[in-house]
Amino acid sequence: MFQDDFPRLQERYELTDRKLGQGGYGTVLRAYDRRTGQAVAIKVLKNRRTGIGAAVLAAKQQDRALLRFKRGGEIQLMLSGDDPRRVDPNLVFVHAYGLVRHKGAEVPALVMDLCPGPTLEDLLKTGTPIPLTTVVDWGRQIASVLFRAGARDVVHRDLKPSNVIVVDAPHGGLVKVLDFGIARFIRSRGPSRMFSTTIDGHSPMTGLYASPEQRRFRPLDHRSDLYSFGVMLSELLHTGLYGTMSEYEEAFPQALRELVDQLQAFDPDDRPQDALQVYQALTRIRTALEAETVRGRPAEISAGPPAPVRRSAELSREFAGLAVELTQRFSPMHPDTLEQRQAELRFAARAGEAVGAAEWSVLTQDYERAVGRSPGAPSGRSLRGEAAMAG
């Protein structure tokens, strides 16, 4: 039985009856780590006919449910990493998956950080317009996660506003993509297996956000998630806005309108081919928007370790290369990537290259969201690394 492969977590985590969220695949409950006293969120396997707990399912259906839950847990563990200090800021850190005791039964569970905040769906329901720069920043963070997933051959398959949470933070907030519970590896199964049902026979997709190929039971890849992202981005841009099409067009930059249209193309070949392209396009748009705010101001870049001009130019290129490597290894919004981008721009400025105030300002805001510290006061680790290379 697949359940025998699950580690037992009963002694460590204590579940409560406080429900934090619910979907077709599972229910999220508040819980406590008995070792640390820390509050956590635990997602438990759910069946619509019988409620929480896989133990009440028929044996064949139970094994299928447990296998899918185990696969979803492994995917989320892989994406979040094994070090909570270096977790991708736009993913919820997953501590473990296994079995916990709830209401007298052993139930499969996924243990995650507790991240309070509204979902994008909650914000959309208010009908309140969201500032353009905030939407673009949220979009960049989501695209960063989709790139991280796509680089590991993972398709989310259920990206929608209710699966993105906004955590209170400066500059419009940090967003985290949730619920990879029905995610699949692109190359792990044949095309016919890329679309499947939930444990109780229901479709895992949400119609409005499902890509055309997903609705037509066709093979999926990461571009399916980009379609879902495009629908969601369009919703965020237009919420609370009423008017003619020409008024809509005046409200948003042309590059942004074209990107949203491209993301929602019927044919996957007509969409951006990976999420990094989307992230980079949104970053250019965000920088252009920021330029209107910082117009006429110089880039306030903090002093780094001393280095000759020629060496500074070389170091700028070296740190740029490291940023590219870390983007591929982690994501564009990972703290390690952002630190290399800081160093790249610092040494570029010392070498006499023009560094735009808007570019530095956007990077500053990205870093503050990711780690809660301004690049104006870089970490000791970052400066030690730069000093070592400068020497």
DSSP state of 173: -
HEC-encoded secondary structure of 80-132: HCCCHHHCCCCECCEEEEEEEEECCEEEEEEEEECCCCCEHHHHHHHCCCCCH
Beta bridge partners of 97: 110
- Pairing verdict, β 39-47 and 51-52: antiparallel
Three-state SS letters, 231-279 = HHHHHHHHCCCCCCHHHHHHHCCHHHHHHHHHHCCCCHHHCCCCHHHHH
Instruction: Read off the amino acid at residue 362.
Output: V
The pair of three-digit structure tokens given for residue 63, joined into one six-digit string: 């094994």
70 is in an annotated binding site: no
- Are the C-beta atoms of 279 and 140 separated by less than 8 Å? yes
Per-residue CA distances from 47 to 64, 107, 110, 312 (Å): 12, 11, 16, 60
SS3 72: helix
Strand locations in the chain (E): 13-22, 26-33, 39-47, 51-52, 94-102, 105-113, 154-155, 164-167, 174-177, 184-185
Whether the CB-CB separation of 365 and 171 falls below 8 Å is answered with: yes
CA distance 268 to 146: 16
Binding site: which residues? 43
Tell me the binding residues for ATP.
43
